[in-house]
Amino acid sequence: MKYLSFLYVVIIMALLILGTAIVNIDVKERSSTPNRKVVTSHVTSALTSHDTTSVTSPSVKIYAITSTYKRPEQKSELTRLSHMIKLIPNFHWVVIEDSKGKTPLVSNFLKKSGLNVTHLCKKNAKRIGHGPKDLLTRNFALNWVRNHLAKKEKGIVYFMDDDNTYDLRLFEEMRTTEIAAAWPVGLVGKVLYEGPVVCRGGRVQKWRTGWKVEKRTFKLDMAGFCVHTDLLLQKPDVKFKDVSTLEDFFLVDLGLTPKTIEGKHCDEILVWHTRTEVTDISHEKYAIARYNVTLIEV
Which one of 247, 262, 268, 297 is the catalytic residue? 247
CB 118 within 8 A of CB 110: no
Separation of alpha carbons 160 and 131, rounded Å: 19
Strands in the chain per DSSP E: 61-68, 91-97, 117-121, 155-159, 165-166, 180-182, 185-188, 191-200, 203-208, 225-228, 262-263, 271-272
> Does the annotation mark 247 as catalytic?
yes
CB 60 within 8 A of CB 156: yes
CB 206 within 8 A of CB 197: yes
Closest to 70 measured CA to CA, from 50, 42, 99:
99
CB 136 within 8 A of CB 124: yes
Return the active site residues.
247
